[in-house]
Amino acid sequence: MATPAAGAAGASSNPYGLMAALEQGGTIAWTVFILLVIMSAASWYIMLTKLLEQQKIMNQAKRARTSFWTAPNLREGANKLEKNSAYRQLVDDGLLAQDQHTKLTDPIDQHEWMHVSLARSQAAINSRLSGGLALLATVGSTAPFVGLFGTVIGIYRALIKIGAAGQASIDAVAGPVGEALIMTALGLAVAVPAVMGYNWLIRRNKSVAEQLSAFSNDLHGYMMSNGTVRPAIAAPRGTAPTPPLKTGSAAINPKA
């Protein structure tokens, strides 16, 4: 009965585990480990927050297709969109640009003015979506080298022990070599998710940007045609076709 207990105690005090390697490595090993933990936590935080942000905008795109284009005018359509949402920002900026065009002392072509205004609004949204991705790229490219630094220190300590002992015995170098391998593994464990998350979020950002661009183009054509050009929205069965949205004075004042 005493043998299993002794085996369990030996397994819990593994001299070649992570904690043992950190204790043997001293300040440098702990510094590398803490730095990798911080980098990993930051990268996972960015990945989760950006994923939620992207998903929110994708859900807004679905609601914009089903509610915005079915409104009788642009003002009511904008009110059906969520406040501070990406699609609400595009519509508000488009209406603002339409109002500002009449106040220009040296007016330019309205088509060009609206195109530039909507493009600027879309660029601002895409810029917010890209925020934090540079950190993921930095973690993915530097984490292996941070782990490699710990690896080099572990190998250096192993060589010192070999020189002090005068022979390369397993018990003399197992600890430092194990520490070196653990640091390499930690660096890769931090870098691989960051790189994969970065590539995945970049691809999703492109999809979101394409949806925003399509909505911006539809909105631009709609406003420039005074409501005669609009995207084809499939109406549910048994319902009448959706009347076109109104722009101009009717969009600003529905009672007009």
Q: 226: left (phi > 0), else alpha (psi -120 to 50), else beta? A: left
Residues near 80 by Cβ (< 8 Å), separated by ≥ 6? Answer: 63, 67, 68, 71
pLDDT band at 169 (very low <50, low <70, confident <90, very high): low
Structure tokens given for 34: 């803490």
DSSP 52-85: HHHHHHHHHHHHHHHHGGGSSBHHHHHHHSPTT-
Residues near 217 by Cβ (< 8 Å), separated by ≥ 6? Answer: none
Closest CA to 66 of 246, 242, 202, 198: 242
Q: Tokens for 194?
A: 């960051």
Give the tens place of pLDDT for each residue, 4-33: 444 444 444 555 556 666 666 667 778 888
Please report, for the chain, the start and end positions of each structural domain, with discontinuous segments joined by +.
32-67+86-102+109-142+191-226+247-256
Can you say how many angstroms the Cα of residue 212 is from the centroid of all Cα atoms in its chain? 17
pLDDT tens-place string over residues 131-148:
889 999 999 999 999 888
Q: Can you give the pTM of this predicted structure?
A: 0.72
Q: Read off the amino acid at residue 16.
A: Y
